[in-house]
Amino acid sequence: MMLSTRARAKINLTLHIPHRREDGWHELISLVAFAGCGDHVTLAPGPLSLSLSGPMQTEIAGEADNLILRAARHLADRIEGLRLGRFALSKHLPVASGIGGGSADAAAALRLLAEVNDIALDDPRVLEAAAVTGADVPVCVASAARIMGGRGELLGPPIRLPPLFAVLVNPRQPLETRLVFARMGLRPGEARDYGMHPEVGDGLDGPALLALLRRARNDMEDAASVLLPSVGAQLAVLAAARGCKIARMSGSGATCFGLFEDCHAAARAAKAIRRDHPSWWVKSTALR
């Protein structure tokens, strides 16, 4: 029997980095939502393996240990006799792009393994396997909007967001997270006082959420823009698009997003951006 699931893109609507811990890890607070677009992962009976397809497969073809395989092995280390299988990944999201493509794939693999082994998604062993696989993997397991903190392993309760219509843009140039953190230049134990993250809860309407987002930020945006100037170009293009309410970078980049008043405005903007920047990856999507 073959099982399948969508590995939806993770969008950091906000990303505050209040300090760097003494152990060298950066502490974060982020409001995360998930897009309607993503990769596709299937699981079939057989020995543990991974096959690739899709328009972005060449970007990860040389990886010796894909995050899907790593997540499966981490879960097998925690559950004796775990049934594994043959994974197939149809890759549609750009790589090293700040929207959790690899993390979403790994989380999708954990969901499929949990299903075939009759294990609850909130089983501590599943969450432990997610956390050791990657910082963004835990939040991608349930793929629900929420606040995440710590290194990414501290998850708040799911949040019901109002309808959000977005355009995602990526220059098809990877940007490594470690390089962006290094450019930020925070020393172990150093804090920054750029303002607290606003409180987020259920029941916000669209204008209230946009007002809240404008009081927040992405603390990695400036460093990413220095390392990859096309980040700034994308933000300028999105901000200038008709109907755009806010433009911001997701994660450590290089993907940026614009939020629009409705799906029609987002679709028009995506069409215009795709026409003017044919080398960019551009998607119009809903976030939730």
Q: Which residues are catalytic?
A: 10, 136
What one-character DSSP code corresponds to residue 20?
E
Contacts of 274 (CB under 8 A, 6+ apart): 280, 282
Radius of gyration of the chain (CA): 18
Give CA–CA dist 45/51, Å, rounded: 14
Neighbours of 283 (CB within 10 A): 22
Say whether the peptide bond before residue 236 is cis (omega within 30 degrees of 0): no
What residues have CB less than 8 Å from 288, skipping those under 6 apart? 33, 34, 36, 145, 161, 163, 164
> Could you give the CA distance from residue 194 to residue 215 in angstroms, rounded to a whole number?
11
Contact 146, 157 (CB under 8 A): yes
Cα separation, 159 vs 143, whole angstroms: 11
β partners of residue 27: 19
